[in-house]
């Protein structure tokens, strides 16, 4: 499954030599930071899963998407951050090609799945504003399976020879190869850019634009309705005051005319 090169050799020796110039203190700082990130991410997202699971009145569609999002943010640090921390403490990547492929695949899969879920949440919110009825849970489950398969299709090609996972960053992490100039590697980068970033981002922008337009129209309608209601209340109040004034004038005139008659009696 993994694209292993000669005797599990470290992926790119030129990057190893290049990253040896970084001070070891910087790697220690990164190890401490990634430890804190891992702890907060795992604890925070486990609590999020518990809250979402216990919440009964929450939208079921958004609840399913957010639980998957929290789950991916638990799996990623638990599966790979320990490799990052140990490599940082050693000042270099120490898990070889297979470890690099595993780290890069898990990180890439979880990151792409998160982006796709954000796009699905945005589309769901935009669609729910105009939908006549709420879609069934089966529809959300099928959409979730499609998102997982799409993330897998985007992150797995380097495992089978189309591009590869290489050492990147400070020499203590792995990512797909951005540095090779051959046509297949460039094609994979374009493939990732289009389907892993541009398309989800376009869905998010278009969906929230629709949501914003609906909210603005709703606010304008509410403001206009309030203004009309205020005008009607004022007109009714003025009409009541005018009627009361006319009635008072009539009563005064009647009393004034009937006073001499009563005196004569």
**pLDDT, tens only, 60-89:** 888 889 999 999 999 999 999 999 999 999
In this structure, of 44-58, 63-77, 86-100, the range with the lowest mean pLDDT score is 44-58
Per-chain mean pLDDT for the chain: 80
Task: Determine the average pLDDT of the residues in 24-50.
Answer: 92
Per-residue tokens: 53: 């699971």
The lowest-confidence range among 176-180, 202-206, 236-240 is 236-240
Give the pLDDT confidence score for residue 6 in this predicted structure. 39
Beta bridge partners of 47: none
Q: Is the per-residue pLDDT at 107 higher than 90?
A: yes
pTM over 0.85, yes/no: no
| Domain ranges, ordered by start, for the chain | 6-205
Going by pLDDT thresholds of 50, 70 and 90, the confidence category of residue 235 is: low
Task: Give the separation between CA 167 and CA 155, rounded to whole angstroms.
Answer: 16
Q: Is the pLDDT reported for residue 119 higher than 80?
A: yes
Tell me which of 37 and 13 has the higher pLDDT: 37
Token code pair at residue 42: 């795992």
Q: For residue 247, is pLDDT > 90?
A: no
The reported pLDDT for the residue numbered 203 is 95
The reported pLDDT for the residue numbered 215 is 82
pLDDT of residue 20: 54
Q: What fold, for 6-205?
A: Rhopdopsin 7-helix transmembrane proteins (1.20.1070)
**Contact call for residues 155 and 105 (beta carbons, < 8 A):** yes
CA distance 118 to 62: 10
**3-state class (DSSP) for residue 168:** strand
CA angle 37, 43, 46 (to 5 degrees): 130
Residue of 98, 10, 80, 97 whose CA lies nearest to 42:
80
């Amino acid at each position: 499954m993994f694209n292993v090169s000669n005797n599990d050799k470290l992926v790119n020796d030129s990057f190893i030599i290049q990253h040896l110039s970084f001070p070891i203190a910087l790697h220690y700082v990164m190890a401490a930071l990634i430890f804190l990130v891992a702890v907060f991410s795992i604890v925070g997202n486990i609590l999020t899963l518990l809250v979402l699971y216990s919440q009964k009145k929450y939208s079921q569609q958004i609840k399913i998407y957010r639980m998957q999002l929290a789950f991916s943010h638990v799996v990623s640090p638990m599966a790979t951050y320990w490799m990052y921390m140990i490599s940082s403490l050693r000042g270099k990547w120490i898990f070889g090609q297979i470890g690099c492929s595993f780290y890069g695949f898990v990180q890439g899969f979880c990151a792409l799945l998160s982006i796709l879920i954000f796009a699905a949440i945005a589309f769901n919110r935009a669609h729910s504003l105009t939908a006549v009825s709420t879609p069934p849970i089966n529809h959300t489950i099928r959409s979730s399976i499609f998102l997982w398969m799409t993330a897998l299709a985007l992150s797995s090609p380097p495992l089978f020879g189309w591009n590869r996972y290489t050492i990147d960053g400070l020499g203590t992490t792995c990512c797909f190869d951005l540095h090779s100039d051959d046509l297949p590697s460039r094609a994979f980068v374009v493939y990732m850019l289009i389907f892993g970033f541009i398309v989800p981002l376009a869905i998010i922008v278009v969906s929230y634009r629709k949501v914003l337009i609906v909210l603005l129209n709703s606010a304008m309608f509410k403001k206009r309705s309030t203004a009309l209601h205020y005008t009607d209340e004022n007109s009714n109040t003025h009409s009541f005051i005018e009627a009361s004034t006319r009635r008072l004038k009539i009563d005064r005139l009647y009393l004034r005319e009937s006073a001499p008659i009563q005196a004569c009696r």
